[in-house]
């Protein structure tokens, strides 16, 4: 069944859970909002969301150098609430996996909220032109553009990318899993990816 964006928005406003989590919950429960809330609770997503407002002043910076050749390097900062969690092997392991993923998948942004408005507008204009040139009817134009923009976010935003070593999980789901296990708010703050010969 197709889940309308308005329904996802309503569930997001009610629960504070992320867009993709709300969409998946509604898909799993046939569009039933109350059952979707129970689904989110059962998955531990709502507990993680409650933590999301808490201050994250501790954390670590991880580095990854791709071998052989050492032509791709990544620095990533992940924050948490306490130095205790920052020093755990689980936290360090998450950062290592994250840096390796960034090297492999080359995201451009951490989250969709960071994508500049002018980039979104440019992408939409391109998708609309493509749809026009392929002879698609006007009435489905907005849906096509919306679908392609969603794909753009999925491919270019780190949190929405599927983890390179386990495509069944997104990076956001991994972040929430760690938040649930540690009992702390975990924030992927920023990253830098450098590639030899890359034109910026």
pTM higher than the cut 0.75: no
* CA angle, residues 171, 18, 125, in degrees to nearest 5: 85
**Which helix (H) or strand (E) element contains residue 33?**
helix 33-42
5-51 and 116-155: same fold?
no
Fold of 58-111+157-195: Tetrahydropterin Synthase; Chain A (3.30.479)
Return the CATH architecture of domain 116-155.
Orthogonal Bundle (1.10)
Token output for 122: 């440019």
Non-local CB neighbours of 136 within 8 Å, separated by 6+ positions: 144
Give 95-142 pLDDT, tens digit per residue: 999 999 999 999 999 999 999 999 999 999 999 888 888 877 777 888
Query: Could you read off the pLDDT of 25-39 as tens digits, one per residue?
Result: 898 899 888 888 888
Q: Which CATH number fits domain 5-51: 1.20.1250.20, 1.10.8.10, 3.30.420.40, 3.40.140.10?
A: 1.10.8.10
What does the alpha-carbon distance between residue 44 and residue 38 come to, in Å, rounded to a whole number?
10
- Under the banding of pLDDT at 50, 70 and 90, the label for residue 48 is low
Those residues with Cβ within 8 angstroms of residue 154's Cβ, 6 or more apart along the chain or in another chain:
160, 161
User: Do residues 26 and 3 lie in contact, with contact meaning Cβ atoms separated by under 8 Å?
Assistant: yes
Per-residue pLDDT tens digits for 62-91? 999 988 888 999 999 999 988 899 999 999
**Beta carbons within 10 angstroms of residue 50's beta carbon:** 11
Map out the domains of the chain as residue ranges. Answer: 5-51, 58-111+157-195, 116-155
Say whether pLDDT at 41 is over 90.
no
């Amino acid at each position: 069944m197709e889940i309308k964006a308005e329904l996802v928005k309503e569930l997001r406003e009610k629960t504070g859970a992320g867009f993709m989590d709300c969409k998946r919950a509604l898909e799993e429960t046939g569009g039933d909002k109350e059952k979707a809330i129970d689904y989110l609770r059962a998955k531990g997503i709502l507990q993680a969301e409650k933590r999301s407002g808490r201050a994250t002043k501790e954390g670590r910076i991880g580095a990854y150098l791709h071998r052989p050749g050492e032509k791709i390097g990544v620095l990533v900062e992940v924050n948490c609430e306490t130095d205790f969690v920052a020093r755990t092997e689980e936290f360090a392991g998450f950062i290592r996996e994250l840096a390796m993923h960034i090297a492999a998948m080359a995201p451009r942004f951490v989250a969709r909220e960071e994508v500049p408005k002018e980039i979104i507008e440019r992408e939409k204009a391109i998708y609309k032109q493509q749809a026009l040139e392929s002879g698609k009817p006007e009435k489905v134009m907005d849906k096509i553009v919306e679908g392609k923009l969603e794909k753009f976010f999925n491919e270019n935003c780190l949190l929405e990318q599927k983890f390179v070593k386990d495509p069944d999980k997104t990076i956001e789901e991994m972040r929430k899993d760690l938040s649930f296990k540690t009992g702390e708010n975990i924030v992927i703050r920023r990253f830098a990816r450098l590639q030899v010969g890359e034109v910026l």
